[in-house]
Amino acid sequence: MKNTLAECGDCDSCCFGKICKDYLFDKPVPQLVQSLERKKCHKKGDNIFSRNDEVTHLLALRRGAIKLYDAAGNIQNLFISGQLINGDALHNGRYHYDAIAATDTEICMLETRRLYDLSLITTDFLNYTLALLSRAVYENQRLISVLTRGEAAGRICAFISLLSQKLEENTFPHQHFSLPVTLKEMATLLAISPSTQNRIINELCLQGIIATEKKEIIIINKELLWQRCNFNHFPLWQYYAGHHR
């Protein structure tokens, strides 16, 4: 199967989408053109940034997937196309984690030192910037809602659903996709032992909820998957649940 995560996301669903449309494509603003570096390529396994590096740009993931690791080498977060990957590092200007490309990637980079100047030149730029930072917070909250599920099976179902939702939001195939993490990393991220994770995935397959082919996930029964997630306990998911079934 072709890895959809290695493809470019839809510009309309990208966190930089409105900024690029208004100030790069429709009516180019020279200061933005000079401040924005587009389509910077990295190969799978490349280091994107390291802990304690200075934050000099806002980074939007245009294509691929990126994983964040702590000092002990444990996975802490995962980003796919369209997301801002460093919003949490802006408050002190230093990165907290190491970022590694999980696939071949392309990143668009907007200089942080020019944000204030751009907000004075363009009427809606500040609102766009606040919106993309708010979206980054929302994305982190969605992941937290997955990681704080009490039952291991609920965390696994919620994680699969979250990946599916993110792919759908970027107009990618979202019912058959490749995991951007290893099964061991998935277990670490979800705080589940590999043996427990394997048992639960096998149970989900036997129940006809999902199917697996190595790292590929096939969602067979989305309704049952939602039920196993028990999303009604998480307000952040309720809007999505009501509009994307």
Quick: pLDDT tens for 129-147.
888 899 888 888 889 889 8
Look at the alpha carbons of 232, 235, 239, 241 in this order and tell me if their dihedral is positive or negative.
negative
pLDDT attached to residue 235? 46
From 40-49, 58-67, 172-181, the region with the lowest mean pLDDT: 172-181
Is residue 162 pLDDT above 60, yes or no? yes
Token output for 7: 């493809």
Q: In whole angstroms, what is the distance from residue 216 CA to residue 24 CA?
A: 37
In the structure, what pLDDT confidence band is assigned to residue 5 with cuts at 50, 70 and 90?
low
Q: In whole angstroms, what is the distance from residue 204 CA to residue 153 CA?
A: 9
Q: In whole angstroms, what is the distance from residue 83 CA to residue 71 CA?
A: 23
Is residue 95 pLDDT above 80, yes or no? yes
In the structure, what pLDDT confidence band is assigned to residue 232 with cuts at 50, 70 and 90?
low
Question: By CB neighbour count within 10 A (0-12 exposed, 13-18 middle, 19+ buried), where does 119 fall?
Answer: middle
- 3-state secondary structure (DSSP) of residue 218: strand
Work out the average pLDDT over 59-68: 93
Residues ≥6 apart with Cβ < 8 Å to 164: 174, 175, 177, 219
